[in-house]
A and B are shown apart, each in its own frame.
Chain A
Amino acid sequence: ETGVTQTPRHLVMGMTNKKSLKCEQHLGHNAMYWYKQSAKKPLELMFVYSLEERVENNSVPSRFSPECPNSSHLFLHLHTLQPEDSALYLCASSQEFPSGIQETQYFGPGTRLLVL
């Protein structure tokens, strides 16, 4: 596997279900991100992890819970979602340096989520 992978690629769930999205990066990066892409809206940054520490949480509802067990894996745990949460969820990774130099973010293929 190369680059950034995401599973599952498609997910349909009911509002009472609990599911998890998985992201894995094979690039040796130290930062990972979750984005939400809704129809006709710009990508919205949800969470940022740097060196496995969460450094940003953009006012995301608590029904989304991220987990970063190590620098290569990122999860997004979902529970009691709403229909408006249906979207494409994209994971990305990048390499960041203490000097402030930041490299480009590379994205995975995304998980298309439909909440019924």
Chain B
Amino acid sequence: AQKITQTQPGMFVQEKEAVTLDCTYDTSDPSYGLFWYKQPSSGEMIFLIYQGSYDQQNATEGRYSLNFQKARKSANLVISASQLGDSAMYFCAIRKGTNFGNEKLTFGTGTRLTIIP
């Protein structure tokens, strides 16, 4: 079974500061993918960034980067120069296996990020 742990239920960060959201995972699969999603108060889950277990470099997407430490089973999300619009719930997720037709995402409990002006 796979498991995602997000230990920060809530965070408050000053606007323009960088923020790191923690995520640790547990899996017995040699091949897996790690995802971060953002969920604003509107409810929609917005895909932010993806890291494959065999990727040599940390993933980056604009202001988002993923600090992937495979030995520690850690996949922290870093948001640089935070903005008020970054206030939302953030979910870390892991995808198991490579079976066709069986993509299953396991999500963590999320971190509520609030950006303070």
Which residues of A are in contact with B by a Cβ distance under 8 Å? 9, 31, 40-43, 45, 48, 50-51, 53, 55-56, 88, 90, 92, 94, 96-102, 104-110, 112
Contacts and interface: CB of A to CB of B under 8 A. Distances in A.
B99 interface: yes
Nearest to B110: A42
Given A41-B109, A102-B98, A104-B35, A48 B43 contact: no
A107 B101 contact: no
B43 A102 contact: no
B25 interface: no
B98 A110 contact: no
Contacts of A96: 100-101, 103
24 contacts: A31-B101, A41-B109, A42-B4, A42-B107, A43-B107, A45-B105, A48-B101, A48-B102, A48-B103, A48-B104, A50-B100, A50-B101, A55-B101, A55-B102, A56-B104, A88-B43, A90-B45, A92-B45, A94-B103, A100-B98, A102-B33, A107-B47, A109-B43, A112-B43
Among B50, B101, B103, B110: residue with most chain A CB under 10 A: B103
Contacts of A31: 101, 103
Interface residues of B, number: 27
Contact of B50 (A40, A43, A97, A104): A104
A43 B91 contact: yes
Nearest to B106: A42
B28 to A, nearest CB: 18
Interface in B86-117: 91, 93, 95, 98-110
A45 B35 CA distance: 15
Contacts of A108: 44
A100 B24 CA distance: 25
A101 B4 CA distance: 22
Given A31-B101, A43-B91, A110-B45, 6 more contacts: A40-B109, A42-B106, A50-B102, A96-B101, A96-B103, A107-B44
Among A42, A48, A102: residue with most chain B CB under 10 A: A42
A48 B104 CA distance: 8
Among B37, B42, B44: residue with most chain A CB under 10 A: B44
